[in-house]
């Protein structure tokens, strides 16, 4: 097979990473990247099922592809990812011009499915269990200095709003040795920053035993081991469930120089009543206590979160608890979501849905509170100088990069992507900082053998 491919990715980092795997598989078959669907022989929509608008976006995108398929019957249209796993046969019933539906556990067979579709017509593989861990597949990485590394897939929790356990299955961890050899290989190719990915990264290893012993691999040990890989200067991870952010993880963060001072710590709600309905095992006071402990152990750590507004039955009192706890937690940033009922989840059948206008009004209040807090947090950095890893060109010809605390920085100056620089922060905004380069460090040379 040869020709060109285009991948459109919806959703989270996990999907971004799966798309790198899909690109790697297609490039292994001789395909090259296309810029537009009209130039491509294979178009892949890698979907997300977390919120309802994902469904609308998928079927909208498929509608746009139909005229292309009518004009070019050799075009292969693939739907991959969580919505493929969730909607299964429905996708080809609604859009019969889709050639392949490939679920989250079947990615390894993608090329074979495309081949079969050419010979036999539409194909679907939505098996329930992962046989090949996605990270064992080849990848085409989007950046040469940063890489996503998946350490576990699936989730054993049962938060009542969340479809992830239904579409990604129970947690399966990748053996520590496999993770480490991938990170070592990446470092040899010049990667300096890795983000460890899992739905609930800090329960990593619960389903594994350390070879030759009865002990279980632990996330703290993984952090230390990845942080010790030569050439890796920054280690990030996402997402931890607050409940599983145990002392050994906090200590590993504090003691491992390469682990960045940033945690994404999804709170979901500040109301104890709503947290109980969400089946999140902590309560607001405990959550704030954990934050205090982490901040004491990891000085300067930045904290981001996820918050859902308008969960069924959320009262004005519940919402004001969320505002109060948000203020107290002083998050650096928050991803705020309007609750979206997901078929098959427990909360989808809960009574007392919140009217759309009420959800919108609460959501706007939360966003404006968080914008103020984010700005205040960022203002604390003005005048300071911070290490920024350059990612590429930003706005108005400036460079853009990130601090260890994951703050986005736009800086005037000249430097190549993948370079560690020192940037003096001149101005703060809610979502980024402006600064100037005061020192350009070395870009790590890539060994000739890599």
**Interface with ligand SF4 by CB under 6 A: which residues?**
155, 157, 159, 162, 164-165, 199-200, 241
Q: Show the 3-state SS of 318-359.
A: HHHHHHHHHHHHCCCEEEEEECCCCCCCHHHHCCCCCCHHHH
Q: Which is nearer to ligand SF4, 172 or 365 (CB)?
A: 172
Of 7 and 163, nearer to ligand SF4 (C-beta) is 163
Cα dihedral 81/86/90/94 (nearest 10): -50
Phi, psi of 331 (to 5 degrees): -65, 145
Shorter beta-carbon distance to ligand SF4: residue 240 or 394: 240
Among ligand SF4, ligand SAM, none, partner that 339 touches (CB below 5 to 8 angstroms by kind)? ligand SAM
- Rounded to the nearest whole angstrom, what is the least distance from the CB of residue 410 to ligand SAM in the complex? 27
CB of 83 within 8 A of CB of 47? Answer: yes
Assess contact for 410 and 435: CB atoms under 8 A: yes
- Contact positions vs ligand SAM (CB under 6 A): 12, 50-51, 161-162, 164, 199-200, 239, 241, 266, 268, 306, 308, 337, 339-340, 342
Taking the least distance from each CB to ligand SAM, the nearer of 97 and 337 is 337
Partner in contact with 308, chosen from ligand SAM, ligand SF4, none, beta carbon below 5 to 8 Å by kind: ligand SAM
The partner in contact with residue 48, picked from ligand SF4, ligand SAM, none with C-beta cut-offs of 5 to 8 angstroms by kind, is none
Question: Taking each helix axis from N to C terminus, what angle separates 284-297 and 316-329, rounded to the nearest 10 degrees?
Answer: 10
Closest distance of CB 160 from ligand SF4, Å:
9
Q: CB under 8 Å to 364, separation ≥6 — which residues?
A: none
* Contacted entry of ligand SAM, ligand SF4, none for residue 337, CB cut-off 5 to 8 Å set by kind: ligand SAM
> Please, which residue, 326 or 340, has the CB nearer to ligand SAM?
340
Beta pairing class for 152-153 and 146-150: unpaired
Query: Which CB atom, from 159 or from 259, has the smaller least distance to ligand SF4?
Result: 159
Residue 165 binding partner per list ligand SF4, ligand SAM, none, with a CB distance cut-off of 5 to 8 Å that depends on partner kind: ligand SF4
Shortest separation between residue 228's beta carbon and ligand SAM, angstroms? 27
256, 227 Cβ separation under 8 angstroms: yes
DSSP string, 214-263: SPPP-HHHHHHHHHTSTT--EEEEE---GGG--HHHHHHHHH-TTB-SEE
Report what 374 binds from ligand SF4, ligand SAM, none; CB cut-off 5-8 Å by kind.
none
**C-beta closer to ligand SF4: residue 154 or 401:** 154
Alpha carbons 172 and 205: distance in angstroms, whole number = 8
Contact partner, 277, from ligand SF4, ligand SAM, none, Cβ < 5-8 Å per class: none
Between β-strands 385-393 and 419-428, what pairing exists: parallel, antiparallel or unpaired? antiparallel
Alpha-carbon distance 94 to 80, whole Å?
Answer: 16
C-beta of 288: minimal distance to ligand SAM in Å? 17
CB 179, min distance to ligand SF4, A: 20
Whether residue 269 contacts residue 323, with contact meaning beta carbons closer than 8 Å, is answered with: no
Closest CB 340 distance from ligand SAM, rounded Å: 4
């Amino acid at each position: 097979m040869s020709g060109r491919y285009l991948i459109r990715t919806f959703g989270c980092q996990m999907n971004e990473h799966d798309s790198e795997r899909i690109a790697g598989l297609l490039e292994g078959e001789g395909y090259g990247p296309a810029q537009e669907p009209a130039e491509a022989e294979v178009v892949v929509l890698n979907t997300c099922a977390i919120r309802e608008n994902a469904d609308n976006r998928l079927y909208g995108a498929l509608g746009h592809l139909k005229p292309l398929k009518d004009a070019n019957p050799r075009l292969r249209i693939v739907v991959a990812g969580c919505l493929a796993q969730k909607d299964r046969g429905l996708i080809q019933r609604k859009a019969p011009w889709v050639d392949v539906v490939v679920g989250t556990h079947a990615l390894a067979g993608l090329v074979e499915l495309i081949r079969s579709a050419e010979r036999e017509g539409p194909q679907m593989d939505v098996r329930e269990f992962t046989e090949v861990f996605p990270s064992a597949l080849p990848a085409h990485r989007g950046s040469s200095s940063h890489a996503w590394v998946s350490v576990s897939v699936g989730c054993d929790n049962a938060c009542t709003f969340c479809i992830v356990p239904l579409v990604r299955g129970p947690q399966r961890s990748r053996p520590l040795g496999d993770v480490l050899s991938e990170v070592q290989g990446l470092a040899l190719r010049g990667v300096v920053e890795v983000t460890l990915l899992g739905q609930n990264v800090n329960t990593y290893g619960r389903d594994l035993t350390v070879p030759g012993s009865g002990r279980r691999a632990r996330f703290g040990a993984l952090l230390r081991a990845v942080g010790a890989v030569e050439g890796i200067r920054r280690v990030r991870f996402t997402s931890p469930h607050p409940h599983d952010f145990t002392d050994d993880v906090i200590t590993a963060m504090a003691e491992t120089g390469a682990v960045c001072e940033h945690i994404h710590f999804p709170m979901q709600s500040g109301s104890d009543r709503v947290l109980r309905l969400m089946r999140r095992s902590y309560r607001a006071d405990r959550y704030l206590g954990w934050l205090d402990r982490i901040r004491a152990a990891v000085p300067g750590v930045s904290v981001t979160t996820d918050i859902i507004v308008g969960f069924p039955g959320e009262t004005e009192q519940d919402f004001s608890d969320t505002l109060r706890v948000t203020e107290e937690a002083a998050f650096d940033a928050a991803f705020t979501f309007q609750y979206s009922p997901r078929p098959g989840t427990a909360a989808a059948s809960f009574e007392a849905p919140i009217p759309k206008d009420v959800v919108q009004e609460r959501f706007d209040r939360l966003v404006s509170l968080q914008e103020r807090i984010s700005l205040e947090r960022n203002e604390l950095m003005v005048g300071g100088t911070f290490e920024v890893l350059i990612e590429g060109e930003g706005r108005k010809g400036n460079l853009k990069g990130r601090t260890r605390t994951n703050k986005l920085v736009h800086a005037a100056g000249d430097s190549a992507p993948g370079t560690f620089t020192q940037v003096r922060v001149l101005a703060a905004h809610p979502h980024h900082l402006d600064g100037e380069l005061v020192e350009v460090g070395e870009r790590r040379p890539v060994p000739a053998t890599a």
